[in-house]
Each structure stands twice: as C-alpha cells, then as structure tokens.
Amino acid sequence: MEQKNQLFILNRRSAMKTYGTLLASLYFGRNLVFASDKVLNGPRSGLVIGNSKYPDSPLTNPANDAIAISKALNLLGFNTTLLMDASLKNLSSTIQKYTDQLNKQKAVGFFYYAGHGVQLGWRNYLVPVDAEIDRVDDIPKKTYELNIMLAALTKAQNPMNIIILDACRDNPFGKKLPIEQKGLSQFDAPSNSLLCYATAPGNVASDGSGTNGLFTENLLREMCNPTAKIEDVMKRVRLNVRLTSKGAQIPWESTSLEDDFFFNSQGVDPQFIDAQVKQALVAFKGSVNQSSKDPSVPYAILSAVEVKPPVIEAQPILSAPSKAVIDVTKKASEEEKDRLFKEELALWEKAVAESSLKLVEDYMQRYPNGSFSQLAQVRLDQLLAMMGEKKVQLIGSIDNPFSKGSASAVGTYSIGDSYSFVIKDLFSGVVQREYTDIVTEITEQNIIFNNGERIIDVLGNELKSKSIRFLTPSQFFPIEFAVGYKWTTRYGWVLGNGYSESEVVMDFVVKARNEFKSSLGTFNTFEVIGTGYAKGGSKFEMKYLIDPSKCAQPLIFETISKRRNGRNGILDKIELVSFNQRKSSSA
C-alpha cells in the first residue's frame, strides 16, 4: 500500500467485512495516516535461517520455525531467502549476499535465525551445523560472529533492519564443552534497527514441544495483525510468551527505530496467512530439498497453493491535501482520540480498582504502547510475583563494550531515604526554591514523602505535590531504562492555583547513556527526552538525567513549555543537590 506523500483511508466496506471495527479503527485517531506521518514503506528483503541437524545437540523446531517465518514473510511482501542446516561457509556467504542486496536495493531488512547460539567475551556467535567445537578457542574460528553482520547492516544504510534471534537454546555443544555463560550477550541495536532475542540476555529458552517454538508461534500471530506497528508486535509477543511460560521465558529487544512500520501494511487476511503457513509446513515436512547433495544451499520457499491473497483496498483522497481538508480531518481525529483515550482510561482504572490480573492483561493486549502501559507492566510484575512467578533476570554488565546496559529504579526506595533539590530558572540559573523529600511510607503502589506532602508511584511519577495535581496518571518514567526505549503518555493536570487545567500528550525516548559528573560524584546517566503538546496549543519539552543504579530520583529535570502566542510558560530546572538512599539497582 503506497502511502508516501498521500493521504489514505481504508475502504470502510471492505475493512468492516474482513476485519470488523478493529481494523477500521486503525486509521482513525492518532493512527490516521497524514502526509507528515513517518510510516516506512518500500522494498522488503528477508533472510531466514533454521539450523536443526547438529550432531551433538540436534533441535526440533528451528526447521519448522524457519519454514513458517519464511512463508509468512513472502505473503507480507518480503523477497525472502530460506537457508536450512547451514554450514559455516554457506552461512557466511548467504549473509554477505543478503547485506549486499540491502545495500543495493535500500530495502527494509528482516533477518531471522533459529538454532544454537553462544556468547564468548561479550560477542555473540551463530553456530553452524558443521561446527566441530572441542575447546573454547574453536568458537571464533568455527562459528559465525554476529558483529560481522551488524557491521555490514550499518554500512548498507538501508532504511530499517529487523533482527530476530531465536538462538538461546541450552547446551549448544553437548556435554563435551560446557559453556560458562548461557544464552546470548546483551547488544544495543545498530542505527535504525530492532534487535530481538527469544529470551532475555544470559538466559535460555526451550526448543518447544509444538509445531513451532513458543516465541516464534507468537511472533507469527502478532506480525500478521494488520493493525499492529512493530512495537506493538514485540510487546504482545513478550507478554504472551511470559504468561505461557509462567515467567520462565521473556523475550527481549533493543531498538533504535525512528519510523513506524507495519508488517502487514497490505492488510492480508491473517487467517489466509495462517492457512498458507500450515500448508507449507505439511508440504515441507520430510521432503526438504531431497535432491540436493548440500541441504544448506539457500533457496526461496514456494507458495503451497496458488491463491491470490485478499487485500484491503486503500484509496487515495488527495495527493496534496489542502489546508482546509487537513484541518477538518485533524479536528475529527482529535475528537476520536478523546473518545479512544476515555475508553483506555476506563479500562485501566477498572484494572487498578479491581486489582485484576485478567484486566491488566486485557489492557496490555489492547494497548501495548498505551498511555498507562508502563504502569501496567509494573502492576503485572506485582500480581504475577504474588502468584509465585519467578521471572528470569536480564544478565548484563557495565563491562559489556557492546551495550549501554539497562537499569530500573523500581523497588529501590526505603523508608528514611532523603533527596534535596533546588529549583532554578532554566535560563538565568536563579534559585527559586529549595526543598527536601524524606520517604515516610511505602505502599504497594506508592512512595510517600514528608507524611503525605508529596506522593509518587513506584515508577517515580508524581501523584501529589504542592504545585501540581494530576487528574489522570502520567508516565514520565519507564519501568526500565535502556537506550532507544520509547513510550507515550497522555495525562490531565492542574497547575499552581488550580485555574490552569490542561491535558498533555507526550512522547518520550531514552536518547543516550553517558558519564555525568556533578558535586555528588560520577554517574552513568540515561538522557531522556520528552516532547509533546497540550490542548490549546502549548508545546512541552522535558529532559532529565537519571542513573537508577545509584539514585532513584533524576539528577536533573528540565521542563519547557511554550504557549501558542510564543511566550514561555514553565522554564524550570530541578537539580538534585544531595541524597541518602540505602538500596540501589543493578545496571
């Protein structure tokens, strides 16, 4: 569906007939595609690798997973190469051809690998089926280092790369060579890419007992959803895998994506894709490339049935819409946004009031990137922990040269902790106020300072203060900080004397992690940027630096608002000048 420089809506009759109101709602409200929206389209290229036939530790599902993913990608518009049971020679040459093709075509790339993988010295290696590993020193020589491909993808400068690694099985070399560190090492995604592991770094996932592995089964279903952006897909996959495995397996991803991307941008019926995938698996089983002497020669998987997939019609309204048309459409869009937000808020408030795991799950399925998604993740963690879940922990280290790491401030407060701040004018630097917050009470949901004078939730978002009253929950802070992580918040608040009530929509991103020195010492801080607007036209910008591994509160928090008339509103810089915190987080 060509969307560049044009304004589109769905053919309502076709959409309602095929997918019902859910699909139709995609193109209303915030998801209505304007000429200014950054929705990435263009050529698509995929490489899918499934390694199963290892002499010492064979696997069952990589073959099925690779076949299924390859078939689904073809139906979603990817020109896909499938490589099965690859030798090191074929693995290296095929990946080289794939990255060269991306460089030439400037296509969206999708790389999927299922099989054994191993980490050594913070580097990740894909294990070919002909790897004869007798000692640790053999690993770099006889396996494929993932860094080689990541460097080639960076050089290709294609618009987007999606890298999926279902390579976290245990025992890659059998009993002859135990590996000290399980799973894969944490890596930050290269520019304009998403890097996803089937389970958290440093952990392993089971091969699975069904036709497909647990991770791939969920990935297949979610990527075929025509209403889901790539971030929605990955968050739903993570939730479903976690719930099904009872916390034993939780997918992990790192992202640096700038644009929105829909796998199923053509609106192909997910049921059609599912049927075609199943037929491909049946046709493939027991007869893969039987005539070839080398089963690892790459080939393109054929369609199981010659049927043209149904496509939701998209019709151009205007190639260059007039200002009047855009204004009218935006007005309708704002009204629809308000209605949808009220529905979302109602579901979240009900989930909180009833302390219901099912309602929290329902919220996260419907709104994976919603205005309360970070709060929902915290609540999910709490409820599952009460039910006995022992969630896997991400294993990282500040010594890892390939990752900035991640950290969370959740659970680091203790009664008696104190934080002293000064509030300065952002431009003049003049101190306007000083205050100290002392933790006097901690509940399941809140941190209470100064006997109720100030209250925050467990993420750090203010619920009560002297100058601000929030009408609906905000999400200035995520459940976990990692470079590239993005989230959205929409909240209502009352400022100052109570006469300035407003509703604000903001997008946040963790831009970087760097060393920061102050009078309090040296910190490894995440830099978080928030941009948005309030009803009435005011623009908001926020920036803060935080090192959750040492301090739960931001070291610096800056806020700028500009009114519609161009005048400045809030120009604050809140600076932490001293703190005493007993517990710290791991980085």
Per residue of the chain (587 residues), what is the pLDDT tens digit?
Answer: 333 322 222 232 333 333 333 333 333 333 333 333 456 778 999 999 999 999 888 888 899 999 999 999 999 999 999 999 999 999 999 999 999 999 999 999 999 999 999 988 889 999 999 988 888 889 999 999 999 999 999 999 999 999 999 987 666 665 666 666 677 889 999 999 999 999 888 887 765 567 888 999 999 999 999 989 999 999 999 999 999 999 999 999 999 998 889 999 888 899 999 999 999 998 877 555 443 445 555 655 433 333 344 443 333 222 334 454 445 445 557 788 888 999 999 999 999 999 999 999 999 999 999 999 999 999 999 999 999 998 787 777 778 888 999 999 999 999 999 999 999 988 888 999 999 999 999 999 999 999 999 999 999 999 988 778 888 999 999 999 999 999 999 999 887 655 577 889 999 999 999 999 999 999 999 999 999 988 777 888 999 999 999 999 999 999 988 776 566 667 889 999 999 999 876 54
Is residue 309 domain-resident? Answer: no
Q: Which is nearest to 439 in space by CA: 431, 448, 430?
A: 448
Confirm if 333 and 325 have CB atoms less than 8 A apart: no
CATH number at residue 128: 3.40.50.1460
Confirm if 421 and 572 have CB atoms less than 8 A apart: no
Residue that has been written with the tokens 């790192």 in this structure? 254
Indicate if 248 and 275 belong to the same structural domain: yes
Indicate if 10 and 51 belong to the same structural domain: no
Is residue 398 domain-resident? Answer: no
Is residue 178 domain-resident? Answer: yes
Indicate if 362 and 247 belong to the same structural domain: no
In whole angstroms, give the CA distance from residue 113 to residue 213.
13
Last residue of a domain, one of 261, 284, 307: 284
β-bridge pairing 161-166 and 193-197: parallel
Q: What is the DSSP letter of 453?
A: T
Which amino acid appears at position 179 of this protein? I
Confirm if 136 and 117 have CB atoms less than 8 A apart: no
Q: Which is nearest to 546 in space by CA: 524, 575, 577, 531?
A: 524
In whole angstroms, give the CA distance from residue 514 to residue 80.
39
Is residue 277 domain-resident? Answer: yes
Last residue of a domain, one of 284, 300, 334: 284
- Three-state SS annotation for 269-304: CHHHHHHHHHHHHHHHCCCCCCCCCCCCCCECCCCC
**Phi, psi angle pair for 288, to nearest 5°:** -75, 110
- Beta bridge partner(s), residue 112: 48, 164
Indicate if 50 and 23 belong to the same structural domain: no
Last residue of a domain, one of 262, 284, 306: 284
Indicate if 371 and 500 belong to the same structural domain: no
Is residue 401 domain-resident? Answer: no
Indicate if 242 and 378 belong to the same structural domain: no
Indicate if 33 and 54 belong to the same structural domain: no
CATH number at residue 498: 2.40.360.20
Range of the domain at 245: 43-284
Helix 88-105, helix 146-156: angle, nearest 10: 10
Residue that has been written with the tokens 């919603």 in this structure? 370
What pTM does this model have?
0.85
Is residue 313 domain-resident? Answer: no
- Beta bridge partner(s), residue 518: 521
Is residue 310 domain-resident? Answer: no
CA-to-CA dists, residue 265 to 109, 226, 276, angstroms: 15, 6, 18
Chain centroid offset of residue 511 CA: 14
Confirm if 449 and 440 have CB atoms less than 8 A apart: yes
Indicate if 189 and 205 belong to the same structural domain: yes
β-bridge pairing 161-166 and 108-114: parallel
In whole angstroms, give the CA distance from residue 440 to residue 79.
60
Is residue 84 domain-resident? Answer: yes
Residue that has been written with the tokens 């900080």 in this structure? 481
Indicate if 421 and 360 belong to the same structural domain: no
Indicate if 422 and 533 belong to the same structural domain: yes
Indicate if 264 and 362 belong to the same structural domain: no
Indicate if 99 and 23 belong to the same structural domain: no
In whole angstroms, give the CA distance from residue 115 to residue 168.
8
Domains contained in the chain, number: 4
Which amino acid appears at position 38 of this protein? K
